[in-house]
Structure 1
């Protein structure tokens, strides 16, 4: 009686067991990579949305020197520029007078305090930014004079708490972004300061 040689591609009982063990070892690694790509992709989306919103807000604020609504208009523009963000995750929005280094005047580089800024919080019921008080940087104190060495610069600071979906890679990350621009100059004859 003649035996037939094994056909190529057919696994015996030992081969099937080895494949199952390999799959059990590789599958968690592949899932971890998949969730890492997902988590960091969503984090990157929120980061880019935060940058875009801050830049949109500071452009509006810098174009409205000495306008009484400069801070409210900037906050509205931040809201309009952040449609990809979950606005309930916004923990801070400041419209502030910036020093030459871009930090808040009367504050510090870590954005824990500020004496010349308008601070906003997100009102989920009204679906807009509101300011708890009217203290901050009054528009009639802005210096937007052409060629004045003490010409003011304005900044927008936005802080967003990014919440992880799975928590396998990280739980929460705070995204902090700010941008600064010089106020658009106004001729000295029109009350620029």
Structure 2
């Protein structure tokens, strides 16, 4: 009787254990991605007009995600927000989720996420040419300029029992730090 009961309960017990483990790892991926977005937007806000601003922001995000194992980054968007409540979910910024848009955003995916500093600098073929850091308004006398970061991460389940494959995303907007000129 004990063997029969064990045979009935063991699969349910194992599914609960694997589901708990999968959920925990997915939650860790989400928290890591969210933390990387916060760290990156803070970094972008302080970098302001620095020619390497986008490179440094990408480096910060990738470093945070790599250290903790935050999943596979599919894209990072650095965008010009119109205010603290701007979002890439609608309006003109929606196009930024698929490609860079002139004077609006720089979208990085694939090899752009592994670029080196020489690939930046607002030149005609530079990765950051669409919303060049040198055009960002950081003077105290300027109207405020906001920068936003959108990060999208793919999470793959490790057990395969539940088949958990999810895409997590987060975006945060912050005002660029004013600088006296």
Normalised by the length of structure 2, the TM-score is 0.80
CA distance in 2, matches of 1:45, 1:80: 16
Equivalent pair of 2:37/2:151 in contact (CA under 8 Å): yes
CA gap 1:36/1:110 in 2 versus in 1, 3 angstroms: farther
Partner of 1:3: none
Partner of 2:137: 143
Pairwise CA distance, 1:177:
1.2
Partner of 1:164: 157
CA distance in 1, matches of 2:76, 2:27: 20
C-alpha offsets along residues 19-45 of structure 1, whole Å, 9 cap, x if unaligned? 111111110110000000110111111
Partner of 1:45: 28
CA gap 1:114/1:44 in 2 versus in 1, 3 angstroms: same
Aligned length: 167
Normalised by the length of structure 1, the TM-score is 0.75
CA distance in 2, matches of 1:110, 1:184: 23
CA gap 1:80/1:135 in 2 versus in 1, 3 angstroms: same
Task: Looking at secondary structure, tell me which structure has more helix per residue.
Answer: 2
CA gap 1:58/1:46 in 2 versus in 1, 3 angstroms: same
Q: 1 or 2 for the larger relative contact order (CA 8 Å, sep ≥6)? A: 2
Partner of 2:92: 106
Q: Say yes or no: does 1:93 pair with 2:76.
A: yes
SS of 2:93's equivalent in the other structure is coil
Partner of 1:178: 171
Equivalent pair of 1:106/1:114 in contact (CA under 8 Å): no
Moved more, 36-45 or 94-103: 94-103
Partner of 1:4: none
Pairwise CA distance, 1:169:
2.2
CA distance in 2, matches of 1:53, 1:129: 18
User: Please, what is the CA RMSD of the aligned residues?
Assistant: 2.6
Instruction: Please list every run of at least 4 consecutive aligned residues from structure 1 whose deviation after the TM superposition is greater than 6 angstroms.
Output: none
C-alpha offsets along residues 95-127 of structure 1, whole Å, 9 cap, x if unaligned? 111122222483129944652112223449xx8
Q: Say yes or no: does 1:70 pair with 2:53.
A: yes
**Ranges in structure 2 where 5+ consecutive residues have no aligned partner:** 120-125
SS of 1:63's equivalent in the other structure is helix
**Ranges in structure 1 where 5+ consecutive residues have no aligned partner:** 1-17
Pairwise CA distance, 1:159:
0.7
